[in-house]
Each structure stands twice: as structure tokens, then as C-alpha cells.
A and B are shown apart, each in its own frame.
Chain A
């Protein structure tokens, strides 16, 4: 693997599969009374969050702590965009504290890339979501979740599996990372969205696109609903929230179009009643809560592989079975 995880495109198929198999080993920890490994003892992981995200931050925090790393949470609300301390000065401060990995969430696309490539820090940089660019660990946990549900039936891989990603693709870092990673893993991705919420140049992405959710659902093996942010509702991207829900929301009627094995996913936080109805979110098909559990395992795997090295993450002799 590369030294940083900035984009899902940084991962080769071998890299991605190594993360998934490592996560699978680490996930078993969650079922044990003592959920901790000594793998990263003495290493320091800094969670550098310039943007509010309790879910992602605690997921990374839990992952680092279960690997025995020291964790520093740095919530720098208000970046240089709002004339606070600059990204560079924050980075230099963390470097001086001896961070081994910096997990960064930032509202500016490319901020983790800048952090990794401008010589400000020597540590590994993990992109925990940058602007409307990417969120590679979310894509990894999504792939891991699909792989656990769909993989065994297709010979342990996602080859040929059909994934529909539905909603605000234009502003979604989750959609970008998923499109790249799922393609790497051999899945076929269809982005479903109103035309106003698809990026210019989408034709060059390795995906199919559709404006018609009903036509896509019967073929999908997994359906991933994206959150529609409140500010988009006033941005003129679609006429009203109700019209959006009618055309692109996943409700009970649409759920009935799915194949029996098809799973329903959402990166959270959900806007219930907008892109997904409560009966779907709470249905048997929904793996939304499991995604959260898997998120910790995948982030453990990422931190371990970036910082730990080549030894197996879970040493079989050290653990009670």
C-alpha cells in the first residue's frame, strides 16, 4: 500500500482486498469481551477534524484505540477558510507532537492531498472526507459490508455485482470513492440521480448513470442511498423535497422491486422521509447499522496496514479462541 490513503484510486485491487481480509480478521474482535490488540502500541494517531463529523471521528477513535494507539483528537472548527489557524500551522503543530498518522476531515477538497504532499508533515495521512472530493474509508467499509453479504455467493469477490448509488452524486465524496473502489473490485456501478446532481463529465467515469430509479432497482444487488443535504433543497437542484422523494426516495413500494438478496445501505446520517423511509431503513434488508460496526474494523485495518506493516494483524497464538 501507499504511505497515504487520500483517494480510493490509491488502492490497487490487491491493496483493497488486503484491507478487506484484514478487516475480516479484526472484525472478530468486536465479538470478544476484550476488544483490544497491542499492534499499534506507542504509535500516535491524530484525528484532525476541521468539519463536524461525530460519527466518522468516533469510528476512527475506536479503531485506533482498539489497536492500542495513542489518540489525539483535534477539532479545529473553522479552518483558514474562516481566518482561523491555517492548515499548515496546524500540521506543523501536529508534526512537532510526533504524530504517526493524521486522520483528516476537511471542508476543502484536496486538503488531505495538500497535507500529504507539501512537506508539512512526515506522517501518514488518511483522508476522512474532504469537501466534495472523496471519503475512501467509507468506500472501504461499504465494500466490506457488500463483500460480507454478497461475496460468498460470488466466489469471494464483488466481480459482476451490481451496485446502485442513488442521490446527490454531485456533492458526494462517498459516491466518488465508491465509484472508484467498486470498479477496482470488479463491481458494476450505476449512479442514479436527477441530472442536476450529476457532475459534468460523468460520461468519463467508469460507471453507468440513470435518471430512473425504478428501472435500476430490479437489477441491483446493493442499493446505496445518499444523504440529501438540507442546503441543496434551497439550491434549486430540484423543485421540492417532496418531488425529490417521489422520484428518488426509497420507500416500501420501491423496496418491493428488489431481488430477495439485495441489501440496502446508507452512509448516514439519514434524512428519514427524504431519501429513505423509516420502514426501509429499519427493514431486514437494511445493513445500515452493520455498516457502522464494519467501519471500525475497516479503519483498524487501514491504520494497521499504513502504520503496522507486514505482520498479520491478529496473531493467532496471542488470543484466546
Chain B
């Protein structure tokens, strides 16, 4: 295994220092390190962060290999600085059995670009009718701890209660896609002044907030832990803040696109901006950023959702929901959080590595960059600028809403247990 001598890296934005990476771990940290036969990586001006952990990724395999595969999706993840991703369950077939989650887990190991932790479906076929065999998935080789019907809401209150209770047996967590289905029938975009003007059916904030409030109360009632996926409204941030103040075990994520983009983009009728939950108002985005800064929102998760070209190259109502996110997440967090002074690099490490790993109960990720720790490290150049080109994405899909946009930062290198998955900004 190659030994890497990383020189002059700024760990979490601190003073430059050298890092010796060997045998899968961080061997030494200090000034002027040397090692015979080591490959030198000049990290002058680069920030070293713990390998990023995504709690919300759609890898589409099995079933929609035309949109993404585990191989292509984890390539994109490595290029984005991720060393672990949680693969959502809404595949075809649905990841609702030990067999499917083990398949996804095995495909991840074979690809080798980053660790893949499958998310198990809460209900059979995501149908919201009866619990899937959560215990079997937890006990499988994939060791599933995060369960979600993402894409659909576990809207039945009794079923949600049972799921929250049941996962306590193996320290699992239910990650809820909070969307009251009756309030969002046919919904196309954020419900507000603009949806009325554009004649697109509205997705009201209350449909998210009502479910989050209910689920917080349920989690408290049964003493379980709840994770809220892709929080998108100012009201949701308030509810999560309230639940945390009560001392309840509730965590929440925000997506990069909800931090940066707003519903005004729907006026183009270009469904590249169609996503679920929808892009909200500027005030919502501001509340999310504030919530992420003060810790109300625990983590950033990408909701990376690849779709083939034809599912976006059409009229808005016919288009699929979702956008790519893995390769741009860190840049958008820099743009919306770091550059404005809302979060420092230690904060980024917390929101994008430590805490998502803790919520997902992933032992070897989200560890500090210290001697003896697994060498999951990303080197990031915050002074770089780049214009996003959809065609350059490692994903099989091209549905990035940031195409043509200039964003700060560039992932220079990613190390997974001491092995470089990305070097010089390219797959190693």
C-alpha cells in the first residue's frame, strides 16, 4: 500500500502541518515529516477535512442503471470528497430485504471508491402498509442502521410509531421524508405567490411541518430517535429547534440546493430545478443556513438524485423530481456557510462528517484527523474557482442545477482508509 506524505495541510483550517498516511491510518502529524518511499502530496493552501459522509444518496442500482450505478455514483462521491455514502432504498426492487441491501453493500465494496451503507426501507415496497424486515437488514452483512421510505412519507401515524419503536432493538433510526401526501397531491413546486402565478400545483410548507411536528411527538412518546430528511422550510427549522429544546433525540438534515437555490428558478419552467421537497423562498433558505450554523440542523446531506436526460428534457409536470449533488456539495457549503462566516472548517467537519457518521452509526468514518485514526481524509482547495460543467460529472446523469454557475473550491484529494481515491482532482 502506498504511503502518502501530505505536506503543509491545514487541518480544519488550522496552521499548516504534515500528515503521514500509511497502513490505512494517520501515522504521524507534525512539521517537516519525512518518510522513505512515500509519495509526496503538496497540500499548501489546502484544508484537510475528515472524509465526508453523506446520509442521503440515491445510487439507483439495482433497477435504474441508466441513471446511476453504485460504481458511477461512488465515483462522483469520491470526487466530491466523500468516503462514505448511505444509499437510499427506493431502488427497483426496493431495498426492503436483507438480500437487496447486501447486494448494494457488496457492489459498493467491489467499486471501492467509497464505503456504501445501504438504507433499508421502512415498509415493504415503500408502500406504507406494513413494516419491512428491519431486523433482518440490521443483522445482514450490510449492518443497516438507517431506515427510510425516502421518496415517500411514512404517513400512517401508527406505522410510524411502530417503526420508531421497533428500531430501538438494534439502535436504528427512522429517516423520515416529511410530506403529508393529501396536502401534496400533484404538487409541483413550493406553494406561494409564484406557484399561483405559474399555474403549478403548490407543495405547501405545512405539508412538511405537520409531519415533522407529529414525528417529533411520536419519537418523544416512544423514546426513540428520529432523523428528518431534507428540511426545507423556516417553519420546519423552528419545529426541530423546539423538539431539541425539549431534549428529544431528533436530528435533521439540509440539502445544499435548499441552502443556495430558491423557488424563483421555477419561473423558467426548466425542470432541472424540480426537486422534492421543492426549492423554497429566500427566507426559507436563510433560516436553513441559520439553523445549520447554530446546530438546529445537524448535518448537510446531498439527496443526490440522478435522472436520465429524457426525464428532465420535457415539460415541468412530466419531469422527475431530483438533482445531482455529490460533486458540488462541499463547494455550496463553502459558498453559503463558510464564506459568509456562518461556519468554520471545524463546523463543516462536524456537519458533513462527524455528525452524519454518528447518526448513521458508522464506526470508521467521521473520526477526527488524529494519529492512529483511520485515514479518511479529504484535501480541499477553498481558493479555487470553477464553472460547473454538467458534461464533466462522474455521475451517469447530467441533471445538475448548477451548470454554468461559478462555485468556490475544489476537492484535490480523497483518501479512503489510507488509499487515494482521488488525486489532483481526478480519480486515482
Bitwise, B302-327 to A at CB < 8 A (1) or not (0) is 00000000100111111000000000
Residues of B within 8 A of A134 (CB): 199
Complex contact A176–B315 (CB within 8 A): no
A-B contact sample (5 more), CB < 8 A, given A114-B316, A199-B196, A201-B194: A81-B318, A131-B200, A132-B201, A133-B200, A201-B193
Complex contact A113–B313 (CB within 8 A): no
Residues of A within 8 A of B317 (CB): 81, 107-110, 131
For the complex, give the distance between the alpha carbons of A20 and B366 in Å.
67
> A86 at the A/B interface (Cβ < 8 Å)?
yes
> A202 at the A/B interface (Cβ < 8 Å)?
yes
> A100 at the A/B interface (Cβ < 8 Å)?
no
Bitwise, B266-303 to A at CB < 8 A (1) or not (0) is 00111000000000000000000000000000000000
On A, residues with C-beta under 8 Å from B are 79-81, 86-88, 106-111, 113-114, 117-118, 130-134, 173, 176, 199-202, 204-205
Q: A81-B317, A81-B318 are in contact. Are A109 and B191 (CB under 8 A)?
A: no
Complex contact B314–A110 (CB within 8 A): no
Which of A80, A86, A130 has most chain B Cβ within 10 Å?
A80
For the complex, give the distance between the alpha carbons of A106 and B316 in Å.
12
On B, residues with C-beta under 8 Å from A are 188, 191-202, 204, 268-270, 310, 313-318
* 8 Å CB contact of A201 from B196, B199, B268: B196
Complex contact B200–A110 (CB within 8 A): yes
**Chain B residue at smallest Cβ distance from A203:** B193
A/B pair count, beta carbons within 8 Å: 86
B233 vs chain A, min Cβ distance (A): 14
**Chain B residue at smallest Cβ distance from A170:** B196
14 of the cross-chain contacts (CB-CB < 8 Å) are A79-B315, A86-B318, A88-B314, A107-B317, A108-B318, A109-B188, A109-B317, A118-B313, A132-B199, A133-B200, A199-B197, A200-B192, A200-B195, A201-B196
Q: A81-B317, A81-B318, A114-B315 are in contact. Are A133 and B196 (CB under 8 A)?
A: no
Q: A114-B269, A200-B204, A201-B192 are in contact. Are A133 and B198 (CB under 8 A)?
A: yes
Residues of B within 8 A of A204 (CB): 193
* 8 Å CB contact of A80 from B188, B194, B318: B318
Complex contact A176–B313 (CB within 8 A): no
Residues of A within 8 A of B314 (CB): 80, 86-88, 114
Complex contact A200–B199 (CB within 8 A): no
B197 vs chain A, min Cβ distance (A): 7
